[in-house]
Amino acid sequence: MSKSNDEQRIEVEASEWFALLSDGNASEEDRKNFERWRAQDIRHRKAYDQFGRIWEELLQVDTSAMLREPAIIAGAGSRRDARRWWQKLAGPLRPKPWLGFGAAASLAIAVSVLVGLWAPAPTGEIHQTSVSEIRQAVLSDGSKITLSARSLVTVSYAKGMRRVELQHGQAFFDVVKDPQRPFVAVAGRTVTKVVGTRFDLWMGQGDVRVRVVEGSVDVGLADGRPPLRLRAGQQVAAISAPKGTLSLSEIEEVDTTALSSWLDGRLTYRNADLKEVVSDANRFYPGSIHLSDQALGNLKVTTAFNADQVEQMTQMLAAILPVSVYKQTDDQIIIVPAY
């Protein structure tokens, strides 16, 4: 059954609100207007919530093949580009009895903007480091990325946006200011948007941390909530939880000298989780370091060591924490609770 003009109008309005609220640029007035629109009709709420459910599923879809479309990579193509993109994307999401054709077309237009931020960049530069390697890459606009060991970033510059994605590891960004082309750094479902600044981006097992050395950045998630504004000397973490949910921590103060010490090959931690220290150490160690119990990862540790002293650092842990450290093979270290 075809939908009425009124239903189609609601779907288009819902898609427009979804796109506006999800890109992090909505003003307080925009949000008030949205709440008024949402309260006007129960169909408004249902239509908007429908887009949210689909977006959560989009995050689980492999979009790398379909994102070879130049218009989509740029962030927003024409309606024809969006429909072609949606036809490719809709397959993995079917069947959806509650999704009408009008909603599908409207959502394609809205989500084509968002996918340009969250999906992996299929073209452009790729920068990668090996074990113990720290290397700097200079981008076409003069911005610099310093990669920590075992790290990977992809770079995709378009007319209106400079986009990089940290696939794994850690990177320090020194971004050249360009108000006409915001710099967007993606890590998992976390998006950091800047104009010109210096900041550090770290990925652990499901978690992401953003720390600012100079200037300010906006950090947000794909849930439509307003982003957090970080200034120099501040950090925030995106923390994963059961069932795949993600939330931002409170903004915390951070020692900028300590956070950037890894650029010189020295890893410094103050009251950090052991799981963070082990995650970083693994990138500088040719073998692997394991925690026998996940609960050990929450132990707090303050330490500092050179990047070429990882094995010595693990032995030191036994002296300051309730753990024992065993070397199972030449390159396998396991950390267990002390008994």
Provide the pLDDT for residue 11: 75
What are the start and end residues of each CATH 2.60.120.1440 domain in the chain?
Answer: 125-256
Fold of domain 265-337: Phage tail protein beta-alpha-beta fold (3.55.50)
Q: Note the pLDDT of residue 207.
A: 85
Q: Mean of the per-residue pLDDT values for the chain?
A: 77
82 vs 208, higher pLDDT: 208
Higher pLDDT, 208 or 123: 208
Res. 36: pLDDT tops 50: yes
pLDDT for the residue numbered 222: 66
Class of the domain covering 125-256? mainly beta
Percent of the chain exceeding pLDDT 90 equals 41
Q: Which ranges in the chain are annotated with CATH 3.55.50.30?
A: 265-337
Q: Do 187 and 120 contact (CB within 8 A), yes or no?
A: no
- Render pLDDT for 10-20 as a digit per residue (tens, 0 to 9): 877 777 676 66
Question: 331 with 287: CB under 8 angstroms?
Answer: yes
Tens of pLDDT, residue by residue over 231-284, are: 999 999 988 776 667 788 899 998 888 778 899 999 999 889 999 999 999 999
194: which strand partners? Answer: 183
Please report the pLDDT score of residue 70 as a whole number.
Answer: 36
Query: Quick one: pLDDT at residue 53?
Result: 63
pLDDT of residue 5: 66
For 62, the token pair is: 């492999």
pLDDT at 160: 78
- pLDDT at res. 71: 36
| pLDDT over 50 at 33, yes or no | yes
The pLDDT assigned to 7 comes to 76
Nearest to 318 by CA among 338, 296, 295: 338
- Which of 37-51, 111-125, 174-188, 212-226 is least confident? 111-125
Q: Is the pLDDT of residue 77 over 60?
A: no
Please name the helix (run of DSSP H) or strand (run of DSSP E) that holds residue 335, with its range, or none: strand 332-337
| Length in residues, the chain | 339
Q: What is the predicted pLDDT for the residue at 288?
A: 92
Residue 144: band (very low, low, confident or very high) from pLDDT cuts 50, 70, 90: very high
Element (H, E) at 51: helix 42-58
In this predicted structure, the answer to whether residue 178 has a pLDDT above a threshold of 80 is yes
- Extended strands (E) in 76-178: 125-128, 135-138, 144-147, 152-157, 162-168, 170-174
- Report the C-alpha gap between 299 and 329 in whole angstroms: 25
Whole-angstrom distance, CA of residue 149 vs CA of residue 154: 15
Q: Are strands 170-174 and 198-203 parallel, antiparallel or unpaired?
A: antiparallel
With bands split at pLDDT 50, 70 and 90, how would you rate the model's confidence at 190?
Answer: confident
pLDDT, average across residues 205-210? 85
Q: Are 41 and 51 in contact (CB under 8 A)?
A: no
| 317 pLDDT above the threshold of 80 | yes
**Range in 1-10, 54-63, 166-175, 256-265 the model is least confident about:** 54-63
Give strand ranges (E) for 116-241.
125-128, 135-138, 144-147, 152-157, 162-168, 170-174, 183-187, 190-194, 198-203, 208-214, 216-220, 228-231, 234-240
> Facing residues of 303 across strands?
269
pLDDT one-digit tens code per residue, 86-130: 444 444 444 344 444 444 444 444 454 444 444 444 446 889 999
Identify which of 64, 74, 78 has the alpha carbon closest to the alpha carbon of residue 108.
78
